[in-house]
Amino acid sequence: MFFVTGPSRAILALSTLLKAVGWYREIHRLALGAGIFGLILGVWATLFSIWGAALANISVRDSFFWVALITAIMMVPSIFLLRSPEELPLEIDDDSKDGDNNTNDTSLQSKKAGFKENTDCPELTAAQLSRTRQIWIQDVGWILVMMPGMLFVFDPYLSI
Amino acid sequence: MSALFEASVLVQSISSFVFLITYALARFVTGFAIGRIIKLKHGVWLATFISPLMFFFTGTIIRLNCTSTGWMIGFIIANAVVAFCLCAKKIFLTPLALAMWGKQNLPKVSSRSLSALDIASFIGPIVMWQGLSASGDIYIDPMLNTSEEQRRELLTYSSNSLFILGGIAFSAFLCFAFLIKPYRRDPSA
């Protein structure tokens, strides 16, 4: 069961995350999109872990059915509504196209977003990407970032 | 918590809730703050720098056998800060991919970064269980750790674990502060 649900959830999460950040990138607040996406996942986990079972007074076995039902109800509309900005371009207010508020001004965009997109990097294939040293450094960096969290959360002596 | 501070079930529940709600809210706060209050790179540096400090702090209070109620509250707050930083780092994933590799490579880099998180979640528990099996004659249930030697062993194991976590977290800070830079194609390639 986990072999089926794991990859399907990973695909759904990644595609939803990329859509969310894609939309918020249109208003130069990409990090906010990632934050809201994460918040929803976090609140869902928090509420369900604390109150879900208590409110419904259900067994662990039944909780799987409840999770499946709630997830399905929440996911089905997204199958039909999920669009990327390329599919459904955002209408930009005409005023913002002129003067100081020009949304094409990259320095203003960078300031609003909090970082500068790397526009110098060409599109790389997965193989080309794997041949760069930088991506491996970044991968190791992410492993190092999350490893303490994983150790900490799962350690029965330290976890809260 | 129960093993180290002999915390009641209520205190454990409250601290779990604090940890989880901080974890959830940190995502939104981080997303909101990037660009508005703090730059992405400064946010990454801050989150990766504070985490090891908190691990070293908690490791030290356990090593010094500071297990009073006040120190327990300090431990819970430090845990909440760790939760905040952990979560903030997850939010940095896509903006950082965009800043380092551009929009054209965002899906590929994001999926690699998420895979790296998966590898961490796979390696983490294995390392942790190896550590537990080497920790000797101590138990999760505090009632079973009756002898002074068991108590001392528990404190040593827990503080050493936290110092190791701090070391790993600090190496992550060094990696993100000095090694991870926007990709530039080598002109000679």
Q: Give me the interface pTM, i.e. the ipTM.
A: 0.86
Residue B189's pLDDT band (cuts 50, 70, 90): low
Q: Which residues on A lie below 8 Å from B175 (Cβ)?
A: 137, 140-141, 144
pLDDT for residue B12 is more than 60? yes
Nearest to B120 among A17, A35, A147 (CB): A147
Q: Which of A47-51, A131-135, B51-55, B71-75 has the lowest mean pLDDT?
A: A47-51
pLDDT confidence of residue B174 = 94
| CA–CA separation, B43 and A117 (whole Å) | 16
pLDDT confidence of residue B175 = 93
**CB A120 to CB B124 under 8 A?**
no
Instruction: Show the domains of chain B with their CATH numbers.
Output: 2-178 (1.20.1250.20)
Residue A3's pLDDT band (cuts 50, 70, 90): low
Q: What region does A83 belong to: left with phi over 0, alpha with psi -120 to 50, or beta?
A: beta
Residue A139: other Cβ atoms inside 10 A: 18
- Please give the mean pLDDT across all residues of chain A: 74
The DSSP secondary-structure symbol of B34 reads: B
By C-alpha distance, the chain B residue nearest A22 is: B103
pLDDT confidence of residue B24 = 79
**CB B95 to CB A139 under 8 A?**
no
pLDDT confidence of residue B62 = 85
Q: Which residues on A lie below 8 Å from B119 (Cβ)?
A: 143
Please say whether the beta carbons of B32 and A32 come within 8 A.
Answer: yes
Q: Crossing angle, helix A30-47 and helix B69-91, to 10 degrees?
A: 130
Q: Which residues on A lie below 8 Å from B180 (Cβ)?
A: 134, 137-138, 141
Q: Which residues on B lie below 8 Å from A112 (Cβ)?
A: 35
Q: What is the mean pLDDT of residues B147-176?
A: 85
What is the distance of C-alpha B39 from the center of its chain? 22
Q: What region does A57 belong to: left with phi over 0, alpha with psi -120 to 50, or beta?
A: left
pLDDT tens-digit readout, B64-75: 888 788 888 888
pLDDT confidence of residue B76 = 87
